[in-house]
Amino acid sequence: MSEISFDWKPGIEEVCLKLKDKKRIGVQVPDGLKTKSHEITTLINELTGAKVLLWGEPTYGACDLADRPLEEIGADALIHLGHLPMPYHSEFYAIPTYFVPVRHTGTLNLEIEAINEIKNILPNKIGIVTTAQHLHLVDYAGEILEKHGFDTSVTTGGPRLAGQGQLLGCNSSAARRLRVDGFLYIGTGLFHPLTVALSTGKPVACLEPHNGIVSIADPKPFLKQRYAAISKAKDAQRWAVLFSNQIGQKRIELAEKIEELLIKGGRETIMVGSIHQSHDQLLGMGIDAAVITACPRLAIEDGPTWPIPLLTVPETKIVMGKIKPEPYPFDEFA
Ligand code: SF4
């Protein structure tokens, strides 16, 4: 297996060529690159001569930009590392914003054993999907699989997505748009392939791209956990309706609608806004359950660690009898 690291330097060098006239540049770095923060800010300063300000809040996606607070303190550009832009809101940045994609450098490991395992899981006609870090492997994976008899397709999803085959935790349209019988997910982690399996109802094989391990995305444990949270929330009387002001996570009208639904159903509510949501924000308010209208991944990944049920918007509609519990409805941003 080749050594895996993050490939961010060429992207910074390219972007800095456009920023020679800037005086104060803000930088956002995802958690996985925090250890490189000093190297990154030093390099930007050397290449541009500008003052460089690292924004210390976490960032989870292009939905989660620091352009507005950085504008308030006089920054004249933002460099955002690790995510691709979301085309639908690219006209609304408060200051010029430049995205530096961060790729995993390891080569694709797709040997005959892995191909045979994929054949055991998937039919012949498949779509290929992945996350931003592995988009550069999609075409090559398709070429190899075609040589072994697969009929592969890739497409770009909706306006939140910039790359061919790209998935987000809140959007699997790059899978849903394809007329295929199954999907190969290239990447790590279970969350993204589960969204594909649940939103398409088709089998999904997961290929860990650098060690060649193949597995099936099995939604059963996930569904068990989500239906348990839904069931627990049925008895909840006081609800927090959580919303964010971040450009790609802001759904204030939806938050107000879900609050109305809860009130009509005889529940007490309080609307709670923040950049990033946590259970600590609700301490002392006597909250029995919460619904998140910002990043739905929070409910799925962090929800199980909260002492109260934390539901997505469609899960809350199930509690209130507005939609059927099956098939399980993922909360997707359009
Ligand atoms: S899953 Fe959450 S963090 Fe990721 S793009 Fe969607 S809203 Fe942003």
Domain range 6-104, CATH class: alpha beta
Compute φ and ψ for 78, nearest 5 degrees: -125, 130
One of 3.40.50.11850, 3.40.50.300, 1.10.760.10, 3.40.50.970 is the CATH number of 112-218, namely 3.40.50.11850
Backbone phi and psi for residue 10, each to the nearest 5 degrees, phi listed first: -60, -35
Instruction: Output the pLDDT for position 91.
Output: 87
SS3 content of the chain, % helix, strand, coil (to 5): 35, 20, 45
Q: Give the tokens for residue 11.
A: 């992207």
C-alpha 92 – ligand 1 centre gap (Å) = 18
DSSP string, 77-145: EEEEESS---GGGGGG-SS-EEEE--EE-SPP---HHHHHHHHHHS-SEEEEEE-GGGGGGHHHHHHHH
Residue 281 identity (one-letter amino acid): Q
Q: Same topology for domains 112-218 and 223-319, yes or no?
A: yes
Atom of ligand 1 nearest to the CA of 294: 7
CB 117 within 8 A of CB 205: yes
Please report the sign of the dihedral spanned by the C-alpha atoms of residue 211, residue 212, residue 214, residue 219: positive
- Report d(CA 331, CA 169) in Å as an integer: 9
Answer for the pair 288, 308: CB distance below 8 angstroms, yes or no.
Answer: yes
Distance 297 CA to ligand 1 centre (A): 7
Dihedral over Cα of 283, 288, 294, 296: its sign:
positive
> Which residues of the chain, if any, have pLDDT below 50?
1-2
Pick the residue whose CA is nearest to atom 2 on ligand 1: 295
Question: Prior bond to 219 cis, omega within 30?
Answer: no
Our mutation pick for probing the ligand 1 site, out of 84, 243, 333, counting the most ligand atoms within 8 A of Cβ, is: 333
pLDDT value of position 2: 46
Find the 77 Cα to ligand 1 centroid distance in Å: 23
> What CA–CA distance (Å, rounded) separates 256 from 262?
10
Rg (CA), the chain: 21
Give the tens place of pLDDT for each residue, 261-316: 999 999 999 999 999 999 999 999 999 999 999 999 999 999 999 999 999 999 99
Distance CA 62, CA 169 (A): 12
CATH label, 223-319, candidates 3.90.950.20, 3.40.50.11860, 3.30.200.20, 2.60.40.420: 3.40.50.11860
Give the pLDDT score at 32.
Answer: 87
> How far is 83 from 90, CA to CA, in rounded Å?
13
Angstrom distance (rounded) from CA 133 to CA 221: 26
Distance CA 215, CA 185 (A): 10
Q: Considering the chain, what is the average pLDDT of its residues?
A: 95
Q: What is the pTM of this model?
A: 0.92
Helix (H) or strand (E) segment spanning residue 238: strand 238-244
- Backbone conformation region of residue 248, classed left if phi is above 0, alpha if psi is from -120 to 50, else beta: alpha
Q: What is the pLDDT of residue 5?
A: 67
Domain ranges of the chain: 6-104, 112-218, 223-319
CB atoms closer than 10 angstroms to residue 282: 20
Q: How far is the CA of 124 from the centre of ligand 1 (A)?
A: 31
Ligand 1 residue neighbourhood (C-beta within 6 Å): 60-61, 63-64, 168-170, 248-249, 295, 297
The answer to whether the beta carbons of residues 269 and 239 sit under 8 Å apart is yes
